[in-house]
A and B are shown apart, each in its own frame.
Chain A
Amino acid sequence: MKLKFALLGLALIHVLVLGAGFLAPYDPAEQNRDFPFAPPMALHLVDTQGHFHLRPFAYAQIYHPESSAAVPYEIDRSRMIPVHFFVKLAAEGGMGQSGEWRLFGVAPPHRLFLLGTDDFGRDQFSRLLYGGRVSLFAGLLATALSLALGLVLGGLAGFYASLPDHLIMGASELFMALPWIYLLFAVRAFLPLHLGAQESFFLLVGLIGLTGWARPSRLVRGVVLSARHRDYVLAARGFGASDFYLLRRHILPEALGVLLTQAALLIPQYILAEVTLSFLGLGVSEPAPSWGNMLADMQKLYVLESYWWMFAAGVALIPVFLLYHLLADALQQSP
C-alpha cells in the first residue's frame, strides 16, 4: 500500500517533469523584460459579473515601473485572458521551437504566468518543470553511479577480503570521515568553475555520484561477506563454480534488496546536494534552470522579502522528499 502510493506519486512527478516540453507553456530561458517579478496569475472560471465560463481565464496584469511598491503590478479586471488548450506555439517564440504543441497557453501579446516570473521575466512555472528534470534526474543518475561503484568496490572487498578489502574499506572510511557537503565542495573547488549547462550537469552528476561511493560499498561488502559463507555458495564452489558465476548468480542478487533501500535513501540526498551546489553557484549554470539555481535568487534580500513565489522550487522539493522517504520506509519494512 505504502509502496504503491510512493511509487505512483514519484512516477507522476517524474512524468510531469519529463513532459515539460509539452506541459510548460514557455521555453525556460525565454525572457519577458517587460514583466520582471510578476506575481502569479490566478485562473478564474467566474468573472466580475458572476457569469460562469467553461474556459478558464486570467486577468491581465499591468506593470507600473515607476511605482515604489514592492510588487508594482495591478490586476486589470476588465481584460480577461482566455486560456487555450492544445496550442501550437507561434513563430514569435523565437527560440526555434515554433510549431511545437503545448498543453495550454494564451494568445501571444498576453502572457500567462501561473507561478509568476523572476527578474528576467522568465515564467517560473515553465522553469519549475524544466528545472525539475535537471534536479530530479541529477539525483537519479548520481545514485545509479554511486550504487554501481559501491557494488563493484564493495563486491571486490567482500569477496576477496584481505588486501583489497583493507584498501577499499580504509579509503571508504576516509571519505566518510569528511562532512559530506564539505567533501563535495572540496572536490568541486578544484574543477573548472564556468561551464555550459550540459557540462555542468554531467560534472555535477559525476561529482555527487563518485564522492558518495563509500556508504553503499560498505553495505554491499557486509552482504557479500555474509553471503560468501552460506552453504549453497560453498556447495556451488565445491561443484567448481567460478568466482564470476558465484558473484553473479548467488551473491549479488542478495545485495539487491539492500541496494534498493539504499537508492531510496540516497536519491533525495543527492537531489539536495545538486540543489545546494546550484544554489551556491557551483552547480548547474544559467540559463538552464534547476531547482537549486532557481532558489539562488533568494539570496538577494529584496527578492526574499517581497517575492514569495520565488519559493516555488524549494516547496516543490517537499513532496519529492516525502515520497522518497515513504518509499525508503516501505522498502525497509518489506525486504
Chain B
Amino acid sequence: MMRFVLSRLTHSLMVLFGVSLLTFAFLKLAPGDYFEQMRMNPQISPGEVAALRAAYGLDRSLPVTYLLWVKSVLRGNLGFSFAFNSPVWPLLKVRAANTLLLTLTALLGSWLLAVPWGVWAAARHGGWLDRVSSLVTASLLAIPDVLIALALLALALRTGWFPAGGMHSLAAESLGAAARWRDLVWHLALPVLALIAGLLPVQIWHVRSALLEVLDAPFIRAARGHGIPPGRLLFRHVLPVAANPLISLFGVSIGTLLSGSLLIEVVMSWPGIGPLLLQAILERDVYVVVAAVLCSTAFLVTGNLLADVLLHVVDPRIRAM
C-alpha cells in the first residue's frame, strides 16, 4: 500500500515538474513582457527598463531563469507579481482557497445528486422515465456553462433573490459569525448551481451506464435468482462493483470542474484563481500566470492521486495487480 502511494506520489510530482517546465518554455518563447509598455514611455529611460528587467530576472536565459525559479519555489517563494507589487504566494493562497471552496462544494453537490439520479434511471432502464431523464441530461449537456452562468446571474439581477456575483456582501464585515456564514452560502449558491449544471449530465450518464453494465452481469442474475431483495442487491452487490469506474471519473471530473470554474468565477466575479489568472494574462504578470496554472494542475493531480488511492483501497482486483 505504502509503496503504491509513494510511486503514485512521485509520478504526480514528476507531472507537476514537467508542467512547470512547459509553462516556462512558453513564457520564454513569448515576445514582450510586463515592462514592454514602459519602453514606450519617454519618461523612463531604456537603462531604467533594463535595470528593472534585470532586477526581476527577466533578462536571463530560459535554463537560468527556470533554475532560479525552482530554487525559490523550493524555499516556498513562488515569485513576485509585478501588477500587485507583492509576492505571489499570499495572493494565490486566498484565491486558491476560494476556488477550492467553490469547486469542492460543487463536486460534493453534484455527486450527491448524480448517484441517486443515475441509479434511479438505471433501475427504470428502457422505461419512459429513463428516457425523460436521458433527454433532460442530453439537453443539459448541450447548454454551454457560460450560458447557464449568465442566465442564473440575469435571474439574480431581475428577481433580487440572490446576490449578483461576488463572495461577500459589502456589509459582511459588520455581521455576526452566523450571519456571515449565511451571507457566504447565499453568495455561493449560484456559482455552485452553475458548476453542478455543467457536471451533472456527464456524471449521471456514467453512473447510469456503470450500473447497467453491472446489472447485466451473470453474478447479479444469479443473486437475483437466489431471491435476494432488490434493496440489498443494489447496495451489497451492484454498487460496490459499479463504484470502480465512478471513482476514476471522480479524478477526471476535477479537471472539467476546474476548467468550468474558471469561466464561472469570472462571470460571477467569484474571487478565485480564474479572475486572477485572467488579469495576470492581460497584464503579462508572468509569475502569477505560472503559479496559477501550476496551482490548478496541482489540484487536478491531487484529485487523480486521491482517485487512484481510493481505487486501490476499494477494488481488490487492482490491489492484486
CB distance from A98 to the nearest CB of B (A): 37
Q: Is B278 an interface residue (CB 8 A)?
A: yes
Q: Which residues of B contact A319 (CB under 8 A)?
A: 142
From 257 to 310 in chain B, residues with beta carbon under 8 angstroms from any chain A beta carbon are 258-260, 262-263, 266-267, 277-278, 280-282, 284, 286, 289-290, 292-293, 296-297, 300-301
CB distance from A104 to the nearest CB of B (A): 28
Q: Which residues of B contact A175 (CB under 8 A)?
A: 22
From 262 to 304 in chain A, residues with beta carbon under 8 angstroms from any chain B beta carbon are 272, 275-276, 279-282, 295, 298-299, 301, 304
Q: Is B241 an interface residue (CB 8 A)?
A: no
Q: Is B239 an interface residue (CB 8 A)?
A: no
CB nearest to A329 among chain B residues: B138
Q: Is B209 an interface residue (CB 8 A)?
A: no
Q: Is A308 an interface residue (CB 8 A)?
A: yes
CB nearest to B31 among chain A residues: A192
Which one, A173, A183, A315, contacts B147 given CB within 8 A? A315
Q: In the complex the two chains form, what is the Cα distance from A181 to B146 in whole Å?
A: 13
Q: Which residues of B contact A180 (CB under 8 A)?
A: 255, 259
Q: Is A179 within 8 A of B23, CB to CB?
A: no
Q: Is B147 within 8 A of A317, CB to CB?
A: yes
With A190-B26, A311-B151 as given contacts, are A179 and B263 in contact (CB-CB < 8 Å)? Answer: no
Q: Is B282 within 8 A of A193, CB to CB?
A: yes
Q: Is A308 within 8 A of B263, CB to CB?
A: no
Q: Is B27 within 8 A of A190, CB to CB?
A: yes
Q: Which residues of B contact A272 (CB under 8 A)?
A: 144
Q: In the complex the two chains form, what is the Cα distance from A322 to B18 in whole Å?
A: 37
Q: Choose the segment among B152-160, B174-182, B230-238 that binds chain A (4+ C-beta atoms closer than 8 Å).
A: B152-160
User: How many B residues touch A, CB cutoff 8 Å?
Assistant: 51
Q: Is B19 an interface residue (CB 8 A)?
A: yes
Which one, A177, A188, A275, A305, contacts B19 given CB within 8 A? A177
Q: Is A75 an interface residue (CB 8 A)?
A: no
Which one, A174, A182, A314, A325, contacts B144 given CB within 8 A? A314
Q: Is B289 within 8 A of A311, CB to CB?
A: no
From 219 to 240 in chain A, residues with beta carbon under 8 angstroms from any chain B beta carbon are none
Q: Is B30 an interface residue (CB 8 A)?
A: yes
Q: In the complex the two chains form, what is the Cα distance from A317 to B193 in whole Å?
A: 20
Dominant SS among interface residues on chain B:
helix
Q: Is B26 within 8 A of A187, CB to CB?
A: yes
CB distance from A204 to the nearest CB of B (A): 14
CB distance from B292 to the nearest CB of A (A): 8
With A174-B22, A304-B154, A311-B147 as given contacts, are A179 and B296 in contact (CB-CB < 8 Å)? Answer: yes
Q: Which residues of B contact A301 (CB under 8 A)?
A: 153, 157, 164-165
Q: Is B281 within 8 A of A282, CB to CB?
A: yes
Q: Which residues of A contact B297 (CB under 8 A)?
A: 177-179, 182
Provide a sorted-by-A list of 30 A–B residue pairs whose CB atoms are within 8 angstroms. A173-B15, A174-B15, A177-B301, A178-B19, A178-B22, A178-B300, A179-B262, A179-B300, A180-B259, A182-B259, A182-B293, A186-B23, A186-B26, A186-B289, A186-B293, A188-B281, A189-B280, A189-B286, A190-B27, A190-B289, A192-B31, A282-B278, A299-B266, A304-B154, A304-B157, A311-B147, A311-B151, A314-B146, A314-B150, A325-B142
Which 8 pairs show the lowest CB-CB distances between chains A and B?
A190-B30, A181-B259, A321-B142, A314-B147, A189-B281, A179-B258, A305-B157, A322-B142
